[in-house]
C-alpha cells in the first residue's frame, strides 16, 4: 500500500453576494473580480471554477414565491401587446384597436373584448362589462401601471387615477396596481393575454372586420373544439354535446354581488372561457299513412 493521502486543502469560496453587487458598477467584469480575488487568495479557484461558483449562486437566488389565490379575491386586467385590426369600409384604411383582457385569479376564467383606445372612458367601460360578464365584483383589481389606471408609478404607493379610483369605490372594490417592471405580480394577466393571443387573435388572422361591434361579436363566438363535437347519433338516441375540458366553471355570485368560484387555485393553467353549446335536438321522423 502507498503512503496515506494528505488532507484535502479547502480553497476560499468567493463572496458571491459581493461579486453580484460589484458587477452592477460600470466596467466591472468577472475577470477583474477574479484577479482581485486571487490577490487576496493566491491558492484560490481558477477562473473557470470561480465563474461556475458564481453561476450556481445565481441559480439558487432566482427563486420566486408561489402565489395562492382565493376565489373572488383578485381580478387581473391588462391590454394585449398584439392588437387586432379593423378596416374602414369607405376608405379601406386599416387601424389597430386595443384588446382588453381580464382574468380571475383562482379559476383563470377569462374575459376579452376589443376597444378603440386605452383611454379612461374605454378603460372604465371594459371593467364594467367584465364585472357583468363574471356576474360579480372581486375584492381587488390588479392592473398594470398604465396611465388610465395610475398617475404616479411607484413600487410601494402608486397613485391611482381619480376616475378609476371613484369607479372602484362605487363598485365596492379597490385597485392594487402591480409594481413597475415586475410581471410576476400580474402573472395571471400575462398568461391570460398569451391565451387570448393564441386562441382568439391567431384564429381570426384571416378574417376582416369593418366595425368594432363585428369584431367583438366574433370574439364572443365560441370556437369549434374537438371535445365539444357531438357523439355519434343513433336512431334511438339524441346527440349530446360535451363541455370543453379547458373551460373552467362559471363563478357564482353571492348576495353582495362578489364573484365566488367554487374553489381556490394555485395553478397557472392556461384556460379560456369557452361557451358550451346547447345540446343538439334529436330529429324525429313522422310517417304519413298512404
Q: What is this structure's pTM?
A: 0.60
* Separation of first and last alpha carbons in the chain: 112
Distance CA 290, CA 280 (A): 31
Give 158-176 pLDDT, tens digit per residue.
778 889 999 999 999 999 8
155 shares a domain with 89: yes
Give 75-91 pLDDT, tens digit per residue.
999 999 999 999 999 99
153 shares a domain with 211: yes
Q: Which of 189, 219, 249 is the last residue of a domain?
A: 219
173 shares a domain with 141: yes
Please indicate, yes or no, if residue 4 is contained in any of the structural domains: no
Give 179-215 pLDDT, tens digit per residue.
777 777 888 889 999 999 999 999 999 999 999 999 9
Please indicate, yes or no, if residue 231 is contained in any of the structural domains: no
Please indicate, yes or no, if residue 165 is contained in any of the structural domains: yes
157 shares a domain with 44: no
Please indicate, yes or no, if residue 120 is contained in any of the structural domains: yes
103 shares a domain with 41: no
Residue ranges of E strands in 105-193: 110-115, 140-142, 150-152, 159-160, 174-175
49 shares a domain with 92: no
140 shares a domain with 119: yes
238 pLDDT exceeds 70? no
- The residue segments making up the domain with residue 54 are 16-61
Please indicate, yes or no, if residue 251 is contained in any of the structural domains: no
49 shares a domain with 150: no
Q: What is the count of structural domains for the chain?
A: 2
Please indicate, yes or no, if residue 258 is contained in any of the structural domains: no
The answer to whether 124 and 114 have CB atoms below 8 angstroms apart is: no
Amino acid at each position: 500500500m502507498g503512503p496515506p493521502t494528505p488532507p484535502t486543502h479547502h480553497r476560499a469560496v468567493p463572496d458571491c453576494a459581493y461579486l453580484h453587487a460589484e458587477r452592477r458598477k460600470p466596467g466591472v467584469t468577472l475577470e477583474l473580480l477574479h484577479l482581485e480575488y486571487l490577490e487576496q487568495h493566491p491558492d484560490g479557484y481558477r477562473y473557470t471554477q470561480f465563474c461556475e461558483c458564481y453561476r450556481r449562486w445565481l441559480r439558487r437566488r432566482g427563486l420566486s414565491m408561489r402565489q395562492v389565490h382565493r376565489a373572488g379575491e383578485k381580478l387581473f386586467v391588462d391590454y394585449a401587446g398584439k392588437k387586432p385590426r379593423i378596416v374602414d369600409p369607405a376608405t379601406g384604411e386599416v387601424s389597430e384597436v386595443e384588446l382588453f383582457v381580464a382574468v380571475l385569479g383562482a379559476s383563470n376564467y377569462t374575459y376579452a373584448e376589443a376597444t378603440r383606445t386605452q383611454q379612461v372612458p374605454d378603460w372604465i367601460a371594459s371593467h364594467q362589462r367584465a364585472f357583468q360578464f363574471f356576474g360579480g365584483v372581486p375584492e381587488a383589481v390588479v392592473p398594470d401601471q398604465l396611465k388610465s389606471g395610475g398617475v404616479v408609478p411607484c413600487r410601494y404607493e402608486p397613485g391611482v387615477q381619480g376616475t378609476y379610483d371613484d369607479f372602484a369605490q362605487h363598485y365596492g372594490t379597490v385597485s392594487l396596481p402591480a409594481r413597475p417592471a415586475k410581471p410576476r405580480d400580474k402573472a395571471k394577466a400575462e398568461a391570460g393575454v398569451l391565451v387570448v393571443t393564441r386562441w382568439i387573435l391567431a384564429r381570426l388572422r384571416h378574417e376582416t372586420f369593418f366595425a368594432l361591434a363585428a369584431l367583438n361579436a366574433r370574439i364572443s363566438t365560441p370556437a369549434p373544439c374537438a371535445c365539444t363535437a357531438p357523439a355519434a347519433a343513433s336512431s334511438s338516441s339524441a346527440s349530446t354535446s360535451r363541455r370543453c375540458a379547458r373551460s373552467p366553471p362559471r363563478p357564482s355570485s353571492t348576495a353582495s354581488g362578489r364573484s365566488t368560484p367554487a374553489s381556490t387555485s394555485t395553478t397557472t393553467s392556461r384556460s379560456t372561457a369557452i361557451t358550451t353549446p346547447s345540446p343538439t335536438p334529436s330529429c324525429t321522423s313522422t310517417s304519413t299513412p298512404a
